[in-house]
A and B are shown apart, each in its own frame.
Chain A
């Protein structure tokens, strides 16, 4: 496989052909914020938080889905990028009903971490306060659409890793939401194996275990690396939840 040489933030790096800019950046500890991306799942480029500037491109490109090219010159952080990332997080905050103080995922939430990371101190967009539902029909778990950021991690992990494909995306625009089965209550799903993978990969408090209270829902994602390594390499690595 051919090796490509590219420049990121003024430094030269080499990468495998077909690798994404995000992958190269992560290997070299160059921080790029992400939300929908999760190592082990397919890449969808849905959240646009990982947008970077590529010389010669008239628009910003998502680092997770953009493949490296020979001689590519990439900037991962500058005033414009930082501003756009802050705008994205602010739009996510204003679009749902995210109230950290009483959320089950408080202090364990990737959206909250991102808000700190991008320096979001106030949201200048009007909050929409949508009237979204909470599906508590499942025996073990709850889906709270108020806190869903539509990253589709749950959809992908259920389809790609568990193989059950309980989740899908329905609707368009502001009415877009995650649905189980053919838009039925989660508790009625005949395909759900109750494995809880969707709950653990969910970056916010949208999916959580029934019975947990404020701040109690810690998301443990180490299982993903364990399963994928076992499948691909027949190696059973120790589970880390970092």
Chain B
């Protein structure tokens, strides 16, 4: 008789989800699924609203990465208005995007994942969190909170508030930047750079310490997708799409993000509200691809800031020269390299005199009835695709979110960890072993999923794991 184990809710990720582990008649792991059981419906209820309202509306999708939705929506608006935005506005939008990367990457590493690394995967869940970290690693926790605050401060200086700012608009941005704000950020900057380098050192030590976890936390072949700049450099705001296979070969390059829908399809499964995007030429489910830090570091030819580039070269050595870095555990390392890149890039932009321009908004009427905006959100490439009528009223909205693009990869990661750590039949004791719960959660966290973004629920993200037999009976259920 086969069984299913359910882990629900999954903790320390952004949103609501549960995991089910399906056992075969011998009590061995046959499959594992990551279910996203929240639904938001932004794509539907934005229909009938005005194009100009969309940045403010869609930034409400998420409290973690509102700035990414804001900028992407504003870019879709630029496309429909068919205007080039002022140079200052683009640089300020770039600065905002970097602020978003910094705060989100810091949150993922320090607040959500580092308790596993520094207190151990099997430490008591009651202390394996940011508060436990504050007691055992006070200075590090303080620095983690401060670097996140730095990112939030950039967003606040630019957008007037830290969360859900409506500052980026179709045609540019609403307010210019001031020298006083620049000075305050530059004064804070040395500490942030130091913390970023410290995080790189920690993650490298973690990778050595947890060799077994590293080997099976989503270690599989898939495609990688993301944006690169005109010279092949790591890109976060503009640029074209590049797709790489697991052997490191570029299989498609220079794709205009406006044409994403020609290359990517979305499949649905009855057991999850989260769609399953795939690379069309390979079909579903063979067209599995990953986005986000691991993908971006794999596909780019170089990083145009010195310290991050040095780390990228080290990152590339994690896999043989005939392969891309396929192991999802290295998302953490890639994320910290990106945090360092963001820190360096922020300084570069802050020292650019053209960020103080006062012409920051262009205005135009509706010039096209369809537009796409894309940018690299912390978790991967984000697309907003709008169709409007001649008055600017939304007729159709499609949001392709980074977390959904990693959906197939997250499912495969859960299955791989369950198979690796559930050693032999679970029967006659149909319970979910504690180390398995801990590692499955940690495996999901590699991707830093944001489920409220990707399903377009509110509230906390609890862990819910079920063990289910072949007849669909729930043998064990663990809630946290």
Contact B391–A213 (Cβ < 8 Å)? no
Report if B48 contacts A (CB, 8 A). Answer: yes
A97-120 contacts to B, CB under 8 A, are 101-102, 104
A137 at the interface (CB under 8 A from B): yes
**Once bound together, how far apart are the Cα atoms of A31 and B56, in whole Å?**
35
A51-89 CB mask vs B (1 if < 8 Å, else 0) is: 000000000000000000000000000000000000000
Please give me the residue from chain B that is nearest to A101 by CB atom: B60
In the complex, per-residue mask of B307-324: 1 if CB is within 8 Å of any chain A CB, else 0: 000000000000000000
Q: How many A-B residue pairs have CB under 8 A?
A: 37
Are B391 and A137 interface neighbours, CB within 8 A? yes
The residues of B that contact A136 with a CB separation of less than 8 Å are: 50, 391-393
In Å, the complex CA distance between A241 and B49 comes to 29
How many chain A residues sit at the interface, stated as a range, is 10 to 19
Closest chain B residue to A216, Cβ basis: B174
A211 touches B49 (CB 8 A): no
- Contact of A7 with B by CB under 8 A: no
Would A102 and B50 count as touching, CB distance under 8 A? no
Chain B residues with Cβ under 8 A from A137's Cβ? Answer: 391
Q: Which residues of A are found within 8 Å of B363, using beta-carbon distances?
A: 211
Q: Does B169 contact A (CB under 8 A)?
A: yes
Residues of A115-136 at the interface with B, using a CB-CB cut-off of 8 Å, are 133-134, 136
Of the residues B48, B60, B393, contact of A102 by C-beta under 8 Å: B60
State whether the Cβ of B301 lies closer than 8 Å to any Cβ in chain A: no
Q: A136-B391, A213-B174 are in contact. Are A104 and B53 (CB under 8 A)?
A: yes
Instruction: Tell me the residues in window 240-255 of chain B with beta carbons closer than 8 Å to chain A beta carbons.
Output: none
Interface status of B55 (Cβ within 8 A of chain A): yes
> In this assembly, does B449 line the interface, its C-beta being within 8 Å of a C-beta of chain A?
no
Contact with A along B373-404 (1 / 0, CB 8 A): 00000000000000000011100000000000
B144 to chain A, nearest CB (A): 29
User: Is B115 interfacial (CB-CB < 8 Å)?
Assistant: no
**Can you sample 26 A-B contacts with CB below 8 Å?**
A101-B60, A101-B164, A102-B53, A102-B56, A102-B57, A104-B53, A133-B48, A134-B48, A134-B50, A134-B393, A136-B392, A142-B50, A187-B391, A210-B50, A210-B52, A210-B392, A211-B52, A213-B52, A213-B55, A213-B166, A213-B169, A213-B174, A214-B53, A214-B56, A214-B166, A215-B166
State the B residues within 8 Å of A (CB): 48-50, 52-53, 55-57, 60, 164, 166, 169, 174, 363, 391-393
